[in-house]
Amino acid sequence: MDARRLAAVLLIATMFAGGCRALWQPEKDVPPSELPKASMALDTVSLEIARLSLDSVDQQELGDIWKEIDEQAIPLDKRRELVANGFRVGIVDFHLPAPLRKILGQHEGAKGSSGGDMVRVTGDEKVAINYRRFPRGKRSEYIMVPAQEEISLLETANGSLRGETYYNAECKFILKTFPQNDGRVQIAVSPEIHHGQPRQRVEAGQGMFRFETRKETKVFEQVEFIAMLEAGQTLILSGTADVKGVGKSFFERENGGSPRQQVLLIRLAGTQFDDLFQPQSSVKENLPLNDDSTEGLLPSQFDSAGQPSTGD
């Protein structure tokens, strides 16, 4: 091997060795890259749902809060059906009536076991709050009254009054959300009683059959309704002053041997469904109900003062 060939071989060997040493050199510690947080799907809606259980003192303090609530947001014919069955429904903008804010501001917080929900319940179970996300059109159940041995009620349908008793029954609201292009959301509310013993049933759908174990279901179609909410508005459901009918079963619950009136608040907390003609952008949703929940773009209606408060 001549001198020039030997020099070339040595040069290649030196470069290869240097490259190998570089490959084996330990790299500097680099923190793992943070993936972007998963954003809420465009057709998903965030709702804050609060259930209040009011004793006689609370009911007196509420006074006539309905003067501050827009009941005309529900069509007249539907309002008549609701009232005939003991329901009262309306929408309030931005700030809840002061008596409701006072009750909500007195509760103590406890985070629920589910990562996506915030549940807060006072010692006497006066306030319970959930934070949920609803995909467009998907059925979601909210238990208003847990399972009772029996529920007897009178319902008004098509102008006639009829009675029925349901055993091993629980009262639920079925909620579905339908985001609109302008940022508003239609919320469909359907009261149901699930009763009897769970049985296996065959359900058909999407070209296949599936087995489900569930109770019998009574749907009160005459008090189903749809409400249109803007971001930050709150839908309020309660019983009528003269407790009666289906509303009595859904909005009256015994606690400590005495009946308590229940009120359900459903607030549109956030949505990312934007106008089709506008550039796509994310709408910052509120945090679950806590001292910082007014720091988002939308003020939390369930905060005690409706203004940002100082956290711990």
Alpha carbon distance 22, 75 (integer Å): 75
Structure tokens at 149: 């041995």
Q: Is the pLDDT of residue 18 over 60?
A: no
Average pLDDT over residues 138-153: 92
- Report the candidate in 200, 203, 208, 231 with the shortest Cα–Cα distance to residue 296: 231
Write out pLDDT tens, residues 52-65.
Answer: 988 888 888 787 88
**Residue 27 is assigned to a structural domain of this protein:** no
Tokens representing 237 are: 């459901």
- Report pLDDT for 10: 58
DSSP E strand stretches across the chain: 44-54, 87-92, 127-135, 140-157, 160-179, 185-205, 208-219, 225-229, 234-239, 252-255, 258-271
Tokens 């965030």 appear where? 46
- For residue 204, pLDDT over 60 is answered with yes
Residue in the block written with tokens 């910052």: 284
Amino acid identity, residue 288? Answer: P
Task: Band the pLDDT of 111: cuts 50, 70, 90.
Answer: low
Q: What is the pLDDT of residues 208-237, one digit of tens each?
A: 777 777 788 999 999 999 999 998 899 999
Q: Which residue has the tokens 């409701």?
A: 100
Q: Is the pLDDT of residue 159 over 90?
A: no
Please determine, for residue 79, whether its predicted confidence score (pLDDT) is greater than 90: yes
Q: Is residue 96 part of a domain?
A: yes
Minimum mean pLDDT among 38-52, 157-171, 269-283: which range? 269-283
Asked if the model's pLDDT at residue 141 lies above 90, the reply is yes
User: Residue 258: which pLDDT band, with cuts at 50, 70 and 90?
Assistant: confident
Residue 8: inside a domain, yes or no? no
Amino acid at 193: I
Distance between CA atoms of residues 297 and 179, nearest Å: 18
pLDDT, position 110:
57
Question: Is 14 inside any structural domain?
Answer: no
State the residue for tokens 């005459």. 222
CA–CA distance, 196 with 275 (Å, rounded to integer): 45
Distance CA 264, CA 277 (A): 35
> Residue 80: which region, alpha, beta or left (left: phi > 0; alpha: psi -120 to 50)?
alpha
The torsion of the CA quartet 303, 68, 246, 141, rounded to 10 degrees, works out to -30
> What's the rounded Cα separation, in Å, for the pair 246 and 156?
8
Q: Residue 190: which pLDDT band, with cuts at 50, 70 and 90?
A: very high
pLDDT interval class at 301 (50, 70, 90)? very low
Q: How far apart are CA 302 and CA 234, in angstroms?
A: 9
Domain that includes residue 108, residue range: 46-295
> For the segment 160-188, what is each residue's pLDDT rounded down to a tens digit?
899 999 999 999 999 999 998 888 999 99
Residue 201 host element (H or E): strand 185-205
- Both tokens of 126, joined, read 């006066």
- Whether 130 is covered by a domain: the verdict is yes
Residue 172 tokens, joined: 């639920």
Total-model pTM: 0.72
Taking the alpha carbons at both ends of the chain, their separation in whole angstroms is: 81
Domain count, the chain: 1
pLDDT at 196 over 60: yes
